[in-house]
Amino acid sequence: MNTHIDYAWSTPRGLVERPDEYPGTTELWGYSDRFAYRQGEQVDLRVHTTAPNFAVEIIREGARPETVFTASNVPGTRQKTPADAYATGCDWATSLTIDLTEEFAPGYYLVVFRTQDDDHGREIEQESFFIVRPQHPADVDLLLVHATSTMLAYNDWGGGNHYRGLPDGDRNDIPSPYSSMRRPIARGMLRKPIGAPRNAHTDVSVPIGWEPRHPTYEWAWQRGYSRHHNDAGWANYERPFTIWAEEQGYRVGHITQVELHAEPDCLNGAATVVIVGHDEYWSWEMRDTLDAYVDAGGRLARFGGNYVWQVRLDVETGVQTCFKDPSADPLRATDPTRVTTAWDAPEIGRPGAETMGLTGLGGAYIRYGSAVPRGSGGFTVYREDHWALDGTDLYYGDVFGQAPLCIAAFEVDGCDYTFRHGLPYATGADGAPENLEIVAMSPAVSGGVDRWGGRVPIGAPAAEIEDLFAGIYPDGIPSYRQGRGYGAAMVVSFTRGNGEVFCAGTTDWPYGLAANDPFATTITRNVLDKFIAAGRQSGQAQTKNVKEHR
C-alpha cells in the first residue's frame, strides 16, 4: 500500500539549482539587486561562478530583440551562499555595474551570463533580468505589470519556495514561508527553447482509459530545468504578450508588482494597466494601488488567472512572506487582515473578486492532469452582444480558443453564479460586483480526482482543497463553496468608481495571442483600444481638473 502518495511530483534533488549541488562542475548564476530601474540609475549585477571569468550579454527583449550591452572576461568569483538563500537572499558581492544610459530605452532586459566548461567541452549559460521603467506611465499606450510575486512564490533556486523546500522526512515538500528577491531565477522562467510543453495538455482527443501525463515535468527532468519552469515568469506569459502587442503597434511600458507595493502613485497617468498570465500572489498594498487607480478612472485589462493569495513584502530586505497555513502566521493574533492566506478568507475581509471581478477559488483547473481532461479548452460565449466581442462574428453558444490552442486552461478564475433564461449572472455571494457581466465561461474543477490509487501523479489533487478550505474558513465553509468543487473560467467586465475592468480569467490567454488566434487577438485589441482611448480622455480630464484647481 502506498502510504505517501506523491501527488505533487516532488522535485528530485538533482533538479534544484544551488552552489555545490554537483561538486566538480562549472557553476554560473547571477542576479540584479533590484527588479526595476529608471534611466540614469545603475544596475548592480551579482554573479557566482567557479570559472575564472565569464561574459555578459544584455538584450532588450520584445518583438525585435536588440543586444545593448556586452562584456567579456569579467573576473569570476566563487561567492559564499547561505544554506537558506532561497529565504534570506544570497548576499553576494557586486561583480559588475551597468549605467543605464540612453541606450537602455524603457523595456524588459534579459541578462545572459556565459562561461566555458572546459572539462565537458561546452558553454554554460544562465540568465537574469531587469526592467527599465518609462519615465512616466503616460509615455506608453499600456503599462504591463509583471507578476513578480508569483515568480517569487515559485522560484525554487537555492532549494525552496512557497510550495516546497523544507524537509519532511523522505522529501522536501514543506513550503517555505519566505522567498527572497535577491537570488537567481530558476531555469526556464525567463528563457526556454521553442516548443517546450505547457502545463495544460492540448490533446484534441482523449480516449477512454486515458491516464493523465504531465509533459511539462517530464521535459524538465530530462533537461535539468526547474519543475516550476512553466508556473511563472517572462518566458511563459509576459513575453508572448509583449511580442504580440509590439507587433500590433502598441507602446508597451513595464513595471513590477514591487513598484505597486512600494509606490502608491506608480500607475497615475497610465492610459491602461495590463496583467497577463499567472498573477496568483498580491500584497495588500499592491491591491490598494490598483484599486485606487481604477476608482480614479483608470482601466484595468487582465488576461490572467488564479488570483488567490495575500502575501507580505518587505522591500528593504527583499523578502516575500506567505505562510499558506493561516494558523502558522504570527500576525493572525495581532492583525488578521494581513494574514497570508487566500483573499477570500473572512478574517481578511477583502474578497479577491472586489478587485478583479473573479477569484481563483471560483475557478481552479482545466486540462491539467485529470482536471477536466476532455474540456474544450476554450470559452463558450453567452453574451454575444458584449462590446469586447465586436468584429469576432461569435454567436451565443459558440466556443473559441479550444484545443489544440486551449486558452481556457491550466489555472482559471471564476465567481459564484447562477443561470436565468440561459444567461449566467454573478450572485455576489463571494464579493463579485453587482454590475459584473459574464461574457463567456468554461467548466473548471478545484482539482483532479485520483482514479488510479496513487499510481498516477495528479498534479493538483482535489483532496488538497479540503485542507485549504479548513484553513481559510475555520468557522465553516460558506454554502457557495460547498459541494464537489465545480467552478468555471470566466471572461467578464465591470465598472467600479470612475474606472472599468475587463478580466479574462485564465493563465493561458497569452498562448492565443502567440498563435494569432483570430478570436483572442480581436477581443484583446477591442479591450486595449477601448481602454487606451478612455484612459487618455480620463487622464486629460484629471490633468485639466488639477490645473483648474491650482
pLDDT (tens digit per residue) in 335-381: 999 999 999 999 999 999 999 999 999 999 999 999 999 999 999 99
The number of beta carbons lying within 10 Å of the beta carbon of residue 31 is 27
Say which CATH number the domain at 65 has.
2.60.40.10
Which pLDDT does position 58 carry in this prediction? 98
Which pLDDT does position 170 carry in this prediction? 56
Tell whether 200 is covered by a domain: no
Q: What is the DSSP string of 477-498?
A: --GGG-SS-EEEEEEEEEEETT
Mean pLDDT of 7-25: 68
Helix (H, G, I), strand (E, B) or coil at 61: coil
- Among residues 132, 159, 177, the one where a domain terminates is 132
- Among residues 92, 109, 132, the one where a domain terminates is 132
Tell whether 213 is covered by a domain: no
pLDDT (tens digit per residue) in 505-526: 999 999 999 999 999 999 999 9
In this structure, the answer to whether residues 402 and 256 fall within a common structural domain is yes
484 vs 348 pLDDT, higher one: 348
For 163, the grid coordinates are 510550495
Identify whether the C-beta of residue 242 lies closer than 8 Å to the C-beta of residue 62: yes
Tell whether 225 is covered by a domain: no
Mean pLDDT of 116-141: 92
pLDDT at 50 over 70: yes
Task: Please state, in angstroms and rounded to a whole number, the distance separating the CA atoms of residues 515 and 522.
Answer: 13
Tell whether 138 is covered by a domain: no
Identify whether the C-beta of residue 513 lies closer than 8 Å to the C-beta of residue 277: no
Which pLDDT does position 8 carry in this prediction? 46
For 298, the grid coordinates are 483608470
In this structure, the answer to whether residues 245 and 126 fall within a common structural domain is no
pLDDT at 548 over 50: no
pLDDT at 165 over 80: yes
Is the dihedral angle over the CA atoms 184, 187, 193, 199 positive or is it negative? negative
Which pLDDT does position 288 carry in this prediction? 98
Q: What percent of the chain has pLDDT over 70?
A: 94
The number of beta carbons lying within 10 Å of the beta carbon of residue 122 is 10
Tell whether 334 is covered by a domain: yes
- Among residues 109, 132, 155, the one where a domain terminates is 132
Tell whether 154 is covered by a domain: no
Tell whether 550 is covered by a domain: no
Burial class, 297, CB count within 10 angstroms (exposed 0-12 / middle 13-18 / buried 19+): middle
pLDDT (tens digit per residue) in 200-244: 999 998 899 999 888 999 899 889 899 999 999 999 999 999 999
Say which CATH number the domain at 268 has.
3.40.50
Containing domain of residue 374, as a range?
Answer: 241-543
The number of beta carbons lying within 10 Å of the beta carbon of residue 316 is 7
pLDDT band at 540 (very low <50, low <70, confident <90, very high): low
pLDDT band at 2 (very low <50, low <70, confident <90, very high): very low
Question: Could you give the maximum distance between any two Cα atoms of the chain, in Å?
Answer: 76
Q: Find the angle CA(95)-CA(98)-CA(103) to the nearest 5 degrees.
A: 155
The b/e string for 131-165 (b: 16+ C-beta within 10 A; e otherwise) is bbbbeebbebbbbbbbbbbbbbbbbbbbbbbbbbb
pLDDT (tens digit per residue) in 384-420: 999 999 999 999 999 999 999 999 999 999 999 999 9
Mean pLDDT of 40-47: 98
Number of structural domains the chain divides into = 2
Tell whether 222 is covered by a domain: no
* Mean pLDDT (the chain, rounded): 92
For 478, the grid coordinates are 460558506
